[in-house]
Amino acid sequence: MQRALQIALTLSLIGVFSLALLAQFYEPKQIPIANLVNHKEDIVIIQGEVVKVTQKPTVNFFEIKDSTGTITVVTFDKMDKLDKRLLISVKGKVTTYKGKLELIADRMEII
Amino acid sequence: MIDIFLAILIGMLFGTLTGLIPGLHTNTVALIVASMSALLLSWFSPLAVASFLVAMVVVHSFMDFIPSIFLGAPEDATALGVLPGHLLLLKGRGYRALKLTIIGGIGTFLISLVIIPFVFLWLEKSYAIISQLIAPILIAFSTLFILQENKLKKIIWATIIFLLAGTLGLLTLNYVSLKQPLFPLLSGLFGTSTLIISLLNKQKIPAQKTDDKIAWLTKSRLSDYAKAALSSLFVSILPAVGAAQAAVISRAFTKYKNREEFLVVIGGINTAVALFTLTTLFLIGKTRTGVMAVLANIIELNLHQYLFLLAVCFVAMAFGVFFSLRIGKWTAENITRINYRKLSLGIITFLSILAIWFSGLLGLYILITATAIGMLAPLANVKRIHLMACLVIPVVLYYI
């Protein structure tokens, strides 16, 4: 059993570290907003213009618009004031809230 | 009205199938329902589709202990019940283990019905406060569980396992895109790892006794039902917390006298979560499971419809109890005729194929890594509860 423990620990460490490495280089696909409906629970990237901003102490909401549609982006990270009309790229998870699609942002960059 | 009866019946049959087939979850069926909702709603009323979903979830909550106890192939909700159930199976008491989870389901269901009116008075006001407490509670109790390992060597192993499982959970759920990330993660940590350990130990399943009588209306049982109901209520209102975490929190708040008590509580939680997630949806409009998210998209519940769905839960509970006892008894009586080694290998293969089917080759990779981590706990002789870090760490990071 001691040998089985060593093998299991080695496999666990290799598995977790290589997955962490993979996650570093893993870049999800960029998806047009209208197609996000087919990507529920997926991690995706969207690009578009900020058309509405609601910033609260614990949560921020942005409406992002591209040529195909609009979606609400939610982030719980504290951030500086974001202006409308900025072009941004957002990486995050597509979820549903009260029947509407939302993107829970993991990373946002001004482009 | 006929469409509703038909929907309830089909829902109960689907709940039986999703419960008995390892890896098939009610959320998967709910997603299919969501994708076909336009077609379904042209045949059935929204209340009928909602009844289908609710009946399926309740029956599933009774049936899914059968594969987890007899085959060691759990789902998220039953993951923590695998080891106590499996240990009773090895003592020829697998059917008793199943009965304990069923008793837990019935008792907790009935106690939950008593609690629900109080939930109506209390939920909206308390929601904000409770959601702020979840991260500190989970951190505190995870630390406590590790320190409960009584020797330094075991504490070190528990910490290693906690960190490995937590990192794997975090990477799987938050950093790589998978269709069904929980499937390979939990199947590996709690299912295939248990089966491989059984194969390594060359365990033989003894003949099972099926004539045990279990008292279900004793003082201690009533306390078990209450524990399960309150744990289910607590976690049913919190985002990103499901039945598995309910078991973790229940373990944190209470100390179980023995594994039988634990099976009663986990059986109770599994059923009561279905009831309370429906109540949470009705009261504060929050969906806590994939099934409830689909239900919320199909119907906006009024009080009459909510009460009707509670009645559907009751009917489904009766069906679930009756048929899980029948199927469980048949399984217990016939399990020694089965070549358990071949069966275990078959289930490992089946779970691997499902991991590829649901989540691709990356899913298989996560299944293998999770299996290795899942084997560490029994091999290092520490408790498996530390493996729940795979959900605890992502939940804690979500809240802080």
Query: For every residue of chain B, which 3-state class applies, written as one string?
Result: CHHHHHHHHHHHHHHHHHHHCCCCCHHHHHHHHHHCHHHHHHHCCHHHHHHHHHHHHHHHHHHCHHHHHHHCCCCCCCHHHHHHHHHHHHCCCHHHHHHHHHHHHHHHHHHHHHHHHHHHHHHHHHHHHHHHHHHHHHHHHHHHHHHCCCCHHHHHHHHHHHHHHHHHHHHHHHHCCCCCCHHHHHHHHHHHHHHHHHHHCCCCCCCCCCCCCCCCCCHHHHHHHHHHHHHHHHHHCCCCCCHHHHHHHHHHHCCCCCHHHHHHHHHHHHHHHHHHHHHHHHHHCCCCCHHHHHHHHHCCCCHHHHHHHHHHHHHHHHHHHHHHHHHHHHHHHHHHHCCHHHHHHHHHHHHHHHHHHHHHHHHHHHHHHHHHHHHHHHHCCCCHHHHHHHHHHHHHHHHC
Chain B residues with CB under 8 Å of a chain A CB are: 160, 164, 167-168, 171-172, 174-177, 179, 200, 285, 293, 296-297, 365-366, 368-369, 372-373, 375-376, 379-380
Contact B177 A44 (CB under 8 A): yes
User: Using CA atoms, how far apart are residues B107 and B267, in angstroms rounded to an integer?
Assistant: 10
More confident residue, B233 or B166: B166
Q: What is the pTM of this model?
A: 0.74
H or E stretch covering A44: strand A43-55
Q: How far is A26 from chain B (nearest CA, A)?
A: 7
Mutate to test the interface with A, among B373, B382, B396, B398 (most CBs of A within 10 A): B373
**Which residue pairs, CB below 8 angstroms and at least 24 apart, start in B162-166?**
B162/B386, B162/B389, B163/B389, B164/A12, B164/A13, B164/A16, B164/B373, B164/B376, B165/B189, B165/B373, B165/B386, B165/B387, B165/B388, B165/B389, B165/B390, B166/B389, B166/B390, B166/B392, B166/B393, B166/B394
Task: Give the residue extent of every domain in chain A.
Answer: 33-110
Give the rounded percent of residues in chain B with a pLDDT score beyond 70.
Answer: 90
Strands A43-55 and A87-97: antiparallel
A33-110, CATH topology level: OB fold (Dihydrolipoamide Acetyltransferase, E2P) (2.40.50)
A43/B366 touch (CB, cutoff 8 Å), yes or no: no
**Chain B touched by A16 (CB under 8 Å):** yes
Beta bridge partners of A45: A30, A91
∠B372-B349-B337 over CA atoms, to 5°? 110
Find, in chain B, the residue whose alpha carbon is nearest to that of A43.
B177
Number of Cβ within a 10 Å radius of residue B220? 10
Instruction: Indicate if the pLDDT at residue B312 is higher than 80.
Output: yes
> Alpha-carbon distance B167 to B280, whole Å?
31
Q: What average pLDDT does the segment B367-391 reach?
A: 90
Question: Would you say residue B74 has pLDDT above 70?
Answer: no
- Contact check, Cβ <8 Å, B375/A23: no
pLDDT for the residue numbered B4: 93
Give the chain B residue whose CA is nearest to the CA of A19: B171
Contacts of A19 in chain B (CB under 8 A): 168, 171-172, 176, 365-366, 369
Contact (CB<8Å) A96/B297: yes
Mean pLDDT for chain B overall: 85
Distance CA A1, CA B238 (A): 40
**How far does B323 lie from chain A, in Å, by closest CA?**
34
Query: Does A15 contact B297 at a Cβ distance shorter than 8 Å?
Result: no
Put simply, the answer to whether A26 touches B365 (Cβ < 8 Å) is no
**Amino acid code (one letter) for B56:** M
pLDDT of residue B231: 84
Lowest mean pLDDT among A51-60, B223-232, B250-259, B376-385: B250-259
Q: What is the pLDDT of residues B11-39, one digit of tens each?
A: 999 999 988 887 667 877 887 787 777 78
How far apart are the CA of A66 and the nearest CA of chain B, in angstroms? 23
Residue B278's Cβ-side half-sphere holds a number of Cα atoms within 13 Å equal to 28
Residue in B297, B290, B265 with CA at minimum distance from that of residue B183: B290
pLDDT tens for residues A53-73? 888 777 888 899 988 999 999
Asked if B365 and A15 come within 8 Å (Cβ–Cβ), the reply is yes
CB B49 within 8 A of CB B37: yes
Residue A44 contacts B, CB cutoff 8 Å: yes
Cβ contacts from A onto B, under 8 A: 71
In 3D space, the residue among B263, B244, B266, B276 whose CA is nearest the CA of residue B112 turns out to be B276
Average pLDDT for A18-43 = 83
- Rounded CA-CA distance A53/A75 in Å is 12
Strand partners, A44: A92
B379 and A12 within 8 Å at the Cβ level: the answer is: no
Strands A100-110 and A69-75, sheet pairing: parallel
| Overall average pLDDT of the A43-54 stretch | 88
Provide the pLDDT confidence category of residue A8 given band limits of 50, 70 and 90.
very high
Question: What is the three-class DSSP state of A19?
Answer: helix
Q: Distance from A2 to chain B by nearest Cα, in Å?
A: 8
Residue to test with chain B: of A2, A3, A11, A12, most B Cβ within 10 A: A12
Q: Domain limits of chain B? A: 2-399
Angle between helices B389-399 and B152-170 (to 10 degrees): 60
Higher pLDDT, B144 or B10: B10
pLDDT at B82: 61
Which has the higher per-residue pLDDT, B240 or B4? B4
State how far the Cα of B139 lies from the Cα of B26, in Å rounded to an integer.
30
Rounded to whole angstroms, how far apart are CA atoms A14 and B338? 36
Of A4, A11, A20, the CB nearest to B171: A20
* Chain B contact for A78 (CB, 8 A cutoff): no
